[in-house]
Structure 1
């Protein structure tokens, strides 16, 4: 492969959180293979949210060390005198405060061909405009997931989704979705978080295009709905680029010496017999939910196999209580006894 051209740069702007940074790194690897110089602008989290978003200096340093072909530029952190009740809203404000630094960084580079934004970084469109750089949004999920087919679904007026119960919502390119199954951040129109999400959706069509982490043949209907503009009637539709599936391939070299026990367990199970249940790093459920759902899932009568991943709350964090409750429910002796020999609980990150 030819050497990257240092005078032709693509800048990727990641959101707070290692879970957002890693997909950006995978996209950077793909773009780098097209002979471009890549820089990822990484916002530094405010001290009050560093644990919640799991973007410690050591985590970012490890990702940087493992991807030396990619440059990383750290944007300054901003903190607030009054703690926010919602770390998500604080994250959005923190990202907004990085816009001047991001714009200055873009203007300092000799030639920037594109700025690729995490979906939560919509206000960075202003930095791209001030620097005269075309902007794109990278959507790391599949095309049929909110928000791409639903940019304006929550802006059409009417009742809040939380008041509609199980009434099916019909969006272009995807099967009907019960209103109560929509993401909790868009359920209540009166909630500030929902208002912020609506504002985000409204700005996405300002971008030149939306790369989506999917295959066109896998989600032909959803991709076609996006491209045909039926999701954003009355507005110009950004170009849609199915570029997936971009995933981290295998374990890092440092982990290869000790193969995770869950992989050996999976190898021993019959084909197509395992259900993988993962709550993610910021999963939030009610206290009773994990006990009730997992108790039914682990009942001996089901005769099914399962693997469950849940991350315990760290001692320094007060905002990760829900994952802590999930972890506790997963690890109750009664549940472990019912799933012995047929199920496996992974108490921390799975490979």
Structure 2
């Protein structure tokens, strides 16, 4: 009987996409995969909804199951932080998730992989006797005072993660060797043995296939006409929005730099303007030919993998970081929220793949810095050093995913450990 892995990424395209990549790893090892999605009681952005639909459509071998809606519940409490509402929502979905798992033949269920924010579903897995296995990217910063509700929620998430039987990490060991060795060491959490960790990445998309060129995005056609490694790509993720004042300041810096650029602009909250009205007067006309500004979604993996892309201004979301590393593109860091500032430290100090736009620390990046840093990465010696470092990491990433590589071996060990857990459980019932 073919065994099934159930993957539960919770809500949000930034969580669904890497889970889909992990699902493909399971498929290559001969397992069936079901991805369980929740239907949030609030509307995702059009780009977020479209992206999730696109992921499902492009992965026909993965079975997608959407849990019944919880619209009857009130998740619109005034003043409640959206993150806390999301955790509350996922907690309430436990009942539906349990019903779904109960409908699966226990003998065919291999494992359940939980997103780190779905950690309350561990209770469901323990109740049903399924070895819980949460998938995580990187730690998220703890916020505010220890008695703050957000801080308590985050502390609970990490405490619960240490109670699981293992953690899958979307990274490769040589990229974060110091952190990996610390997590594996006995002194990471005093008087506590942490669960085993499995570095199974980098799990990123492959971009459009050659046969999809009929639907090729217009920005890729524009990139085709640009010289190699000459274009700065600015894209701040699915939720990354800046103020109108900050957008204008970045535009001034790009204009002064004289560099080519491709800029995916998201409208500031509450504004619906044409680009001419949003950006400095005459900017689009002055930069015509060497710059392209789009309000639409940009195919990030295809852009990063294009020969013309020479630098990437990023919000430092982990998916974007991995995609740039796999593509070998140096990064300029503009962290906005969540764990992104922590990622920035790793990117600039440990990995050596990026430089920071220091203005993020004051909440505003000035045109002079944009101009200088863009030139530094595209034309300067430091940019050359970043590219050399990334070339080596790119080879290591490819090697990790190949037969006999560290990530392949880690995933094989994960499968073996799950099998051993099941055997021990069976033996225990017969003793």
TM-score by length of 2: 0.60
Instruction: Report the counterpart of residue 20 of structure 2 in structure 1.
Output: 25
Instruction: Report the counterpart of residue 346 of structure 1 in structure 2.
Output: 294
Number of residue equivalences: 294
Helix, strand or coil at the partner of 1:100: helix
8 Å CA contact retained: 2:233, 2:261: yes
In structure 2, the CA distance between the partners of 1:220 and 1:99, relative to structure 1 (3 Å rule), is same
Deviates more, 1:14-23 or 1:230-239: 230-239
1:87 counterpart = 2:82: yes
In structure 2, the CA distance between the partners of 1:187 and 1:264, relative to structure 1 (3 Å rule), is farther
Q: What is the distance in 1 between the residues matched to 2:276 and 2:76?
A: 28
Gaps of at least 5 residues in structure 2 are 300-431
Deviations 1:6-34 (A, max 9, x none): 3x211100211233222211211111111
In structure 2, the CA distance between the partners of 1:298 and 1:53, relative to structure 1 (3 Å rule), is same
260, 264, 274: which is aligned to 1:309?
264
**Whose radius of gyration is greater, 1 or 2?**
2
Instruction: Report the counterpart of residue 50 of structure 1 in structure 2.
Output: 43
Q: What is the distance in 1 between the residues matched to 2:272 and 2:278?
A: 10
Q: What is the distance in 1 between the residues matched to 2:216 and 2:193?
A: 49
Deviations 1:158-206 (A, max 9, x none): xxxxxxxxxxxxxxxxxxxxxxxxxxxx256565333322221222112
Instruction: Report the counterpart of residue 114 of structure 1 in structure 2.
Output: 111
8 Å CA contact retained: 2:251, 2:280: no
118, 139, 142: which is aligned to 1:146?
139
66, 84, 89: which is aligned to 1:74?
66
181, 196, 207: which is aligned to 2:153?
196
In structure 2, the CA distance between the partners of 1:335 and 1:98, relative to structure 1 (3 Å rule), is same
Helix, strand or coil at the partner of 2:37: strand
In structure 2, the CA distance between the partners of 1:339 and 1:204, relative to structure 1 (3 Å rule), is farther
Q: What is the distance in 2 between the residues matched to 1:325 and 1:188?
A: 39
1:104 counterpart = 2:52: no
In structure 2, the CA distance between the partners of 1:36 and 1:133, relative to structure 1 (3 Å rule), is same
TM-score by length of 1: 0.72
Instruction: Report the counterpart of residue 5 of structure 2 in structure 1.
Output: 10
Instruction: Report the counterpart of residue 164 of structure 1 in structure 2.
Output: none
Deviations 1:130-170 (A, max 9, x none): 11111222234xxxx533xx7xxx4xxxxxxxxxxxxxxxx
Q: Between the two structures, name the one with larger relative contact order (CA 8 Å, sep ≥ 6).
A: 2
In structure 2, the CA distance between the partners of 1:82 and 1:125, relative to structure 1 (3 Å rule), is closer
8 Å CA contact retained: 1:18, 1:54: no
Q: What is the distance in 2 between the residues matched to 1:211 and 1:282?
A: 25
In structure 2, the CA distance between the partners of 1:271 and 1:194, relative to structure 1 (3 Å rule), is farther
Helix, strand or coil at the partner of 2:171: coil
Deviation, 1:334, is 4.1
In structure 2, the CA distance between the partners of 1:296 and 1:341, relative to structure 1 (3 Å rule), is same
Gaps of at least 5 residues in structure 1 are 155-185, 314-320
8 Å CA contact retained: 2:6, 2:33: yes
Deviation, 1:224, is 2.1
Deviation, 1:225, is 2.4
Helix, strand or coil at the partner of 2:88: helix
Deviation, 1:116, is 0.6
Instruction: Report the counterpart of residue 129 of structure 2 in structure 1.
Output: 132
Q: What is the distance in 1 between the residues matched to 2:275 and 2:118?
A: 31
Query: Structure 1 or 2: larger helix share?
Result: 2
Instruction: Report the counterpart of residue 298 of structure 1 in structure 2.
Output: 254
Alignment of 1:221-236 (within 5 A): 221-228=178-185, 231-236=188-193
245, 260, 263: which is aligned to 2:202?
245
Q: What is the distance in 2 between the residues matched to 1:139 and 1:281?
A: 19
Q: What is the distance in 1 between the residues matched to 2:44 and 2:238?
A: 11
156, 160, 171: which is aligned to 1:214?
171
